[in-house]
A = this chain, B = another copy of it.
Amino acid sequence: MANLLPQDLLHRLNWRYAVKGFDPARKISAACWDSLETALQLTPSSYGLQPWKFIVVESPALKEQLRAASFNQKQVTDCSHFVVFTHIPELLEADVDKFLDAFSAARSVPRENLNGYRNIILGDVHGHRKPFIREWTRHQCYIALGNFMTSAALIGVDTCPMEGLVPAKFDEILGLGPTRCRTVVACAAGYRSPDDASAAAAKVRYPKSDLFEHR
């Protein structure tokens, strides 16, 4: 496809808002959801390490439990697909090797040619960044969240990002204890209810003169 015109992009971004009331009867189709998973899969990450796992919840019973750990926000249960963005707080040598194996396979590069790159990545994530690695992988989840909300808006799917949740409770409910993943943030996806008054509310944004500086 050719580029979108800038005004068409902005039209879609203006259409987006943080949905308060989802229509519980409307489900995202399997084909459409699969495209959104592909969009998430294509999210850029530092070095391409993809230090995340996306947990997609459709089970009404599980949504009820997560809602209780999200200050009872009804978006959790009323949305179609509820996505929990989890990060891998610790990056091991094995994670880097897994990535380099995938790199070697995707680009038909002999694995041994990647040893220099391996040293660079490990020198960074086990060197300078070591004390911050937990935060660093968490940041990557927010890139995914930003990409997800914009991608969804482009194809007409509504979202509501959710930071109002208790990550430790989410981890417990989702049984993440024995895994290497931990909850960072979540996003509800689906379709707005025609009754959601927030849809018509003007956006609150600072003027560009406040937000940008040109040098």
Contact = CB atoms under 8 A, between A and B. Distances in A.
A118 interface: no
Interface string A140-181: 101111111111001110000101000000000010000000
A205 B145 contact: no
Size category, A interface: 35 or more
Contacts of A145: 142-143, 146
Interface string A177-215: 000000001000000000000000111111010111111
Interface of A: 1-14, 16, 18, 31-32, 35-44, 46, 48, 50, 52-59, 62, 99, 102-103, 106-107, 135-136, 138-140, 142-151, 154-156, 161, 163, 174, 185, 201-206, 208, 210-215
Given A4-B12, A102-B205, 6 more contacts: A10-B38, A16-B42, A44-B161, A52-B211, A55-B215, A139-B142
